[in-house]
Amino acid sequence: MAKACRIATLNKAAISTALIANFRDFQDAINLLDAIVTHNTEDCVNLTVPILTHSELIQELEILS
């Protein structure tokens, strides 16, 4: 899985970059991701990227391989 996925770092530098990016919405600047993987999808509402559970990610990776 580590070869197929990159883990995004959300730290002070990433937040600072998002704040100065030319996006109308801060959330859109942060969400430059292919997907978010979480065990609690209910906390991820109104996002512009797919929200996957761990099981869904594994299924997606199996389809791609």
Residue pointed to by tokens 């512009």: 48
Secondary structure (3-state) at 61 = helix
Instruction: Fill in the amino acid letter for 9.
Output: T
User: DSSP letters of 3-44?
Assistant: TT--PPP-SHHHHHHHHHSS-SSHHHHHT-SS-EE-S-GGG-
> What pLDDT tens digit does each residue of the chain (65 aa) get?
666 677 777 788 877 877 777 666 666 666 666 788 888 888 777 777 788 899 998 898 888 77
pTM over 0.75: no
Helix or strand or coil: residue 57? helix
